[in-house]
Each structure stands twice: as C-alpha cells, then as structure tokens.
Amino acid sequence: MMSMDNMIIAGVRIYFPPGTDLPVPTPELRTFAIVSKDLPGHLVLEYKNRQWVPVLTRLFDDSAHAISAITSLSKKTWH
C-alpha cells in the first residue's frame, strides 16, 4: 500500500498525492484528492464508482482554497 499525506475533515478524507499515483481508498468515507503535479494549480478529484473523477472544473491557487471547496461540497454528507 502506498503512503501519502491525508487528512480527515468535515467527515471526508482528503489525499495529497506527491505525484500522479492515487490510492484506492476504502469505502467508509467520502474521499477526495488534491493534485497539482504538472498543473498550473490544484485540481480536486473525488473517488466515485471505483475511479477518480474531477469534481470541480476550477483550479485553485493553493490547497487551502481547495480544502475549503471540498468542505463546502461535503456539508450534506452527514445530514
């Protein structure tokens, strides 16, 4: 299993892959990744139906803004 930084916030897991390899997460939590390798900004992906898909079309200037967008997306996860 690969090792990479991740955090759980607002009931979702967020991965921060150092390159282009993404993990295969467990299904317990809604899962996102913030990728930036070879991109002009930070892209938000979500793990859905056993694959990583872009969930937002915008690129963020930094990971903090991407995390904020993810927490906004996940507000209804626990309602």
pTM of the full predicted structure?
0.88
Whose tokens are 């990479």? That residue is 4
Question: Which tens digits make up the pLDDT trace of 2-46?
Answer: 568 999 998 899 999 988 899 999 888 999 999 998 889 999 999
- Residue ranges per structural domain of the chain: 5-73
- Tokens 């991740």, residue located: 6
Distance CA 37, CA 18 (A): 7
Residue 67 CB burial class (10 angstroms; 0-12, 13-18, ≥19) = buried
